Amino acid sequence: MAMASLTTSSSIALLNKSLLPNRSSLSSSTPLYRFSSPPSSVRSRFTSASIRAVALEPELNETPSSDIKETETVETQVFACPVCYEPLMRKGPSGINLQAIYRSGFKCGQCNKTYSSKDEYLDLTVTAGFDSFNEVKPITTELFRSPLVSFLYERGWRQNFARSGFPGPDEEFRMAEEYFKEAEGGVLVDVSCGSGLFSRKFAKSGKYSGVIALDYSENMLRQCNEFIKKDATFDSSTNIAVVRADVSRLPFPSGSVDAVHAGAALHCWPSPTNAIAEICRVLRSGGVFVGTTFLRYSPSTPGLSDLFNRILQNYNYLMQDEIKDVCTTCGLTDYEDIVQDSFIMFTARKP
Ligand SMILES: C[S@@+](CC[C@H](N)C(=O)[O-])C[C@H]1O[C@@H](n2cnc3c(N)ncnc32)[C@H](O)[C@@H]1O
């Protein structure tokens, strides 16, 4: 309630002032490309990561709920250890939904480390379970860990992106769905989901066997849970999971994920190259990556001031060609993009 008074346009404008790219430096002639479905030659059959039941492991007992029944199974393969990438064993109810995940305990057989839901999300960061150590990340990550920014994000902050050419959540969702057609029925990870703006849309669409809302910010994930709880169309069995993880250390086995979405995120990542390499690692063959971000420079902007601007900017705003280069260098193929002012939506797939 107290925070509601902060949702004025002036406070949001102030917060955004130094954070959004200067539109005036961008060419208004930057074309708006139309989406086209990927060629059928590059489409591959959907092969979602399967969930395999294995024998119960008695020592895996650090689950948040004490009433897990002996008959419940230990599963592998949905989540992996963020340290060694071994699939985590799971004890508890099966499925990718809030209740099942909350009542499950996870353990890495290799590292002997356990993971469970803390507050309202499953913490799968390397630092999960640490009491005394709170790793401080670059400002672009830390900014979104604040309760204020997390609270404001869907209450005015995100709407400001329209000034830079973002079509808006409904249209961005529609555009992304065009590219995710091949991944329908599989697991979609919404990396850097923030307060779950798109994760909720993907889950509601009913087109995926599981949607994983993933972010590094504890407060964004709390907001995500709040929005889910307030939304009458969700119940505890809706196939959405809320997970805390670092994009550079994704807690999924290699080649196991059908689709990765990363809305308005690349510019916030400490290392876009490490992040995209990691996304490529977790995608299965034929898996689809769709991302949006702000372009720092349009192709027509002279490059003279690039270095100077990079030093001044905390965000990793890339150029259109750089995004393509990073995707292809990381092994992704069939790159396409759509640009409108400094907004870019790009897609590529794992060969
Ligand atoms: C601008 S918000 C985007 C939210 C949402 N996807 C959207 O389209 O509006 C960027 C998000 O990136 C997240 N982020 C920043 N650094 C991250 C990291 N290292 N790993 C995972 N997420 C990160 C932030 O916490 C924040 O929620």
pLDDT digits (tens, 9 = 90+) for 253-310: 999 999 999 999 999 999 999 999 999 999 999 999 999 999 985 544 444 456 555 5
Closest protein CA for atom 13 of ligand 1: 192
**Whole-prediction pTM value?**
0.81
The architecture (CATH level 2) of 134-349 comes to: 3-Layer(aba) Sandwich (3.40)
Place of tokens 């299965």: 284
pLDDT over threshold 80, residue 333: yes
CA distance 178 to 169: 14
Measured by CA distance, the residue closest to atom 15 of ligand 1 is: 141
Percent of the chain with pLDDT over 70: 73
Place 77 in a pLDDT band, splitting at 50, 70 and 90.
Answer: confident
pLDDT at position 70 over 90: no
Centroid of ligand 1 to alpha carbon of 64 (angstroms): 27
Ligand 1 pocket mutation pick from 192, 276, 345 by most atoms within 8 angstroms of CB: 192
* Rounded distance from Cα 336 to ligand 1 centre (Å): 22
Residue with the larger pLDDT of the pair 35 and 64: 64
**How many A from CA of 267 to the centre of ligand 1?**
9
> Residue 9 above 80 pLDDT?
no
Residues with CB under 6 A from ligand 1: 141, 144, 158, 192-194, 197-198, 215-217, 220, 246-247, 263-265, 268-270
Q: For residue 20, how far is its CA from the centre of ligand 1 (angstroms)?
A: 14
Backbone angles phi, psi at 228, to 5 degrees: -65, -45
Hey, where are the domains in the chain? 134-349
Mutate to test the pocket of ligand 1, among 19, 140, 143, 144 (most ligand atoms within 8 A of CB): 144
CA distance readout (Å), 214 to 194, 241, 347, 348: 8, 8, 19, 20
The residue contributing the CA closest to ligand 1 atom 10 is 265
- Give the mean pLDDT of 242-254: 98
Percent pLDDT > 90 in the chain is 65
Could you tell me the distance, in angstroms and rounded to a whole number, from the CA of residue 247 to the centre of ligand 1? 9
Helix (H) or strand (E) holding 325: helix 320-329
CA of 58 to the centre of ligand 1 (A): 37
Atom of ligand 1 nearest to the CA of 263: 8
Q: How far apart are CA 147 and CA 131, in angstroms?
A: 20
H/E stretch holding 311 reads: helix 306-312
Ligand 1, atom nearest to 261 Cα = 6
